[in-house]
């Protein structure tokens, strides 16, 4: 909207002049907000006649200028349409909650490709190129998809995050809602990969959302997830190596298998300090249907090693990313405590 374009006028009897509204509300508003300004529904409809100064973007949502809506206007229009308080969806923010003009939308947030774009993923398409904008609402809301608004329902609403002042679904949830509509295997792989490489989330969080959305039975999604998990493990291994180097831990042997002399295979480890009998294992389990069985395997291996006197430190990729110093301290403590323990059983260390 041209800043020199005069704002729409409302009757002088309006209890609150339009200038008291936020910038977004001056351009995109609802029938309820217009009524609060003294604009009757018939008058609003008249303003939206062909060639008129306003246009109706969605049921009960108006754009107060005749030109095409901007990306920001489309986003706010969809949120106004889907917000729980549909009669007055924009609740003024409390002081200190992001500025005087930030709007708070109840039980509605942008998800899917639009949310990924707002999170800064370059592999998500531009907002203006999207035919519709996905908006997440509780399952029991009585809404239908229409116009720019594509309604996505969920039994459990995640906590929204703010991106450029817009409430958006967290990256893992937004990815699941985007992938549900994508058939291009390359596009799916690029989105998942960028989310992990860019540090937006860990692979396990993505797989959990895809599993909950029942998308892991689609071959192109499974292929993308397999690539994602391999890439996620490589990133975690690199962070583990960085932790050992940056925090002055003694050099371990990397990526080894342990065996009892002439006996069975004890399991693979990501790092092992033979003199101290301390091991580190990266917990890169993906939450699929066999998660319980996989965890049982982890637990059995850990219990077996600890019965032999080997201390096993489990570290998740997320902890390595978010609290590397703390994880280094845990490993250092285990190494220092080795002198107070009985000697571990002799094991054969082989490259993995």
Residue 258 in contact with residue 267, Cβ under 8 Å? yes
Residues forming a β-bridge with 315? 282
Reported as a pLDDT band with limits 50, 70 and 90, residue 344 is confident
Reported as a pLDDT band with limits 50, 70 and 90, residue 33 is confident
Alpha carbons 223 and 24: distance in angstroms, whole number: 42
Reported as a pLDDT band with limits 50, 70 and 90, residue 23 is low
pLDDT in tens, 103-148: 668 899 999 999 999 999 999 999 999 999 999 999 998 899 999 9
Check pLDDT > 80 for residue 11.
no
Give the model's pLDDT for residue 169.
97
Greater model confidence, 4 or 64: 64
Pairing of strands 166-168, 91-92: unpaired
Q: Which residues of 103-138 are buried (b: 16+ CB within 10 A; e: fewer)?
A: bbbeebbbbbbbbbbbbebebbeebeebebbbbbbe
Give the model's pLDDT for residue 262.
83
Residue 148 in contact with residue 58, Cβ under 8 Å? yes
Please state the rounded mean pLDDT for residues 140-168.
Answer: 93
Reported as a pLDDT band with limits 50, 70 and 90, residue 15 is very low
Alpha carbons 41 and 343: distance in angstroms, whole number: 83
Reported as a pLDDT band with limits 50, 70 and 90, residue 340 is confident
Give the model's pLDDT for residue 290.
54
Residue 91 in contact with residue 104, Cβ under 8 Å? yes
Give the model's pLDDT for residue 293.
59
Give the model's pLDDT for residue 21.
44
Token couple for 176: 């699941």
Greater model confidence, 10 or 339: 339
Give the model's pLDDT for residue 286.
63
Reported as a pLDDT band with limits 50, 70 and 90, residue 318 is confident
Check pLDDT > 50 for residue 100.
no
pLDDT in tens, 281-316: 998 776 654 555 555 777 788 888 989 999 999 998
How far out from the chain centre does Cα 105 lie?
A: 19
The percentage of residues in the chain with a pLDDT greater than 70, rounded to a whole number, is: 83
Distances (CA, A) of 306 to 252, 274, 310: 18, 14, 5
Give the model's pLDDT for residue 86.
41
């Amino acid at each position: 909207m041209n800043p020199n374009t005069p704002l729409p006028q409302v009757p002088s009897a309006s209890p609150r002049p339009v200038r008291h509204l936020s910038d977004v509300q001056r351009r995109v508003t609802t029938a309820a907000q217009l009524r609060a300004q003294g604009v009757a529904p018939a008058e609003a409809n008249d303003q939206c006649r062909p060639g008129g100064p306003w246009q109706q973007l969605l049921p009960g949502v108006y754009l107060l200028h005749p030109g095409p809506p901007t990306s920001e206007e489309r986003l706010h229009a969809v949120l106004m349409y889907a917000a729980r308080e549909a009669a007055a969806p924009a609740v003024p923010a409390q002081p200190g909650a992001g500025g005087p003009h930030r709007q708070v939308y109840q039980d509605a947030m942008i998800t899917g490709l639009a949310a990924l774009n707002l999170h800064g993923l370059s592999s998500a398409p531009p907002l203006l190129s999207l035919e519709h904008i996905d908006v997440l609402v509780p399952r029991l809301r009585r809404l239908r998809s229409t116009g720019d608004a594509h309604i996505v329902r969920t039994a459990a609403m995640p906590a929204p995050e703010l991106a450029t002042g817009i409430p958006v679904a967290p990256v893992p949830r937004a990815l699941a809602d985007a992938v549900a509509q994508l058939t291009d295997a390359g596009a799916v792989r690029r989105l998942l990969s960028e989310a992990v490489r860019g540090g937006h989330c860990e692979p396990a969080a993505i797989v959990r959302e895809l599993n909950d959305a029942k998308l892991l039975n689609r071959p192109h999604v499974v292929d993308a997830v397999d690539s994602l998990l391999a890439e996620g493990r490589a990133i975690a291994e690199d962070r583990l190596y960085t932790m050992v180097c940056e925090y002055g831990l003694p050099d371990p042997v990397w990526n080894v298998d342990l065996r009892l002399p002439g006996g069975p295979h004890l399991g693979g480890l990501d790092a092992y300090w033979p003199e101290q009998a301390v091991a580190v294992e990266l917990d890169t389990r993906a939450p699929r249907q066999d998660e319980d069985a996989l965890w049982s395997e982890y637990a059995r291996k850990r219990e077996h090693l600890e019965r032999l006197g080997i201390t096993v430190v489990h570290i998740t990729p997320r902890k390595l990313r978010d609290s590397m110093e703390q994880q280094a301290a845990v490993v250092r403590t285990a190494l220092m405590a080795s002198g107070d323990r009985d000697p571990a059983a002799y094991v054969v260390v082989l490259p993995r």
